Chain A
Amino acid sequence: KNQVEQSPQSLIILEGKNCTLQCNYTVSPFSNLRWYKQDTGRGPVSLTIMTFSENTKSNGRYTATLDADTKQSSLHITASQLSDSASYICVVSSVGGRSGGGADGLTFGKGTHLIIQP
């Protein structure tokens, strides 16, 4: 069964510090991997999307990496701000239909809950 595991489950850091969130997946065949940010009381919003051939992509202070060989991804947040407090969800797409996890082959992680303290 296709799975996406995220770690840590929750994380508290001080404002201004950097942090890295992890995503390990067992989804096959692989199409792309996305990171979403979900603020409290809001829907998830896409941060990055990476295909098999991409191993790093940035969006402002967010940098995602992908190692398709080891099936691992990370999301690095630089110089954290209070507004970065949110849940970060890793989503992996599978080619060719349902992967056992979601619509059209989307498998969701349960997210990392990040709290930035002043």
Chain B
Amino acid sequence: DARVTQTPRHKVTEMGQEVTMRCQPILGHNTVFWYRQTMMQGLELLAYFRNRAPLDDSGMPKDRFSAEMPDATLATLKIQPSEPRDSAVYFCASVWGQGLSNYGYTFGSGTRLTVV
């Protein structure tokens, strides 16, 4: 089965440290999303790319978060400096084309981030 691969699966870090999360989308998918999930807020969109170009990052705190897609097989989400309120599960998802009506919208298993 094709899958979205995220690394690391778990990350514990101290406040103020830099955190980088990685995502390998499904080969051939040209749209990649980053979501954050907490118990209180559910799934929230942080940013997404199409054909490696950033389309929307309005959900991200710009002063500390950055998302990039250096090539078609890798998307990164970086937090610098990290804060305890960033503790959450971060999901990557990929799809071909627009996310509106596409059946092939696939999530990775997530990175569970704990900032102490």
Interface residues of A (CB under 8 A from B): 31-32, 34, 41-46, 49, 51, 89, 93-95, 98, 101-106, 108-111
Contacts and interface: CB of A to CB of B under 8 A. Distances in A.
B93 A43 contact: yes
Interface string B18-59: 000000000000010100000001111100100000011000
A61 B98 CA distance: 29
Interface of B: 4, 31, 33, 41-45, 48, 55-56, 91, 93, 98-101, 103, 105-110, 112
19 contacts: A43-B91, A43-B93, A43-B108, A43-B110, A51-B101, A93-B100, A94-B100, A102-B43, A103-B31, A103-B33, A103-B56, A104-B100, A105-B99, A105-B100, A106-B45, A106-B99, A108-B44, A110-B41, A111-B42
A113 to B, nearest CB: 9
A42 B107 CA distance: 9
Nearest to B39: A110
B56 to A, nearest CB: 7
B109 A42 contact: yes
A111 B109 CA distance: 17
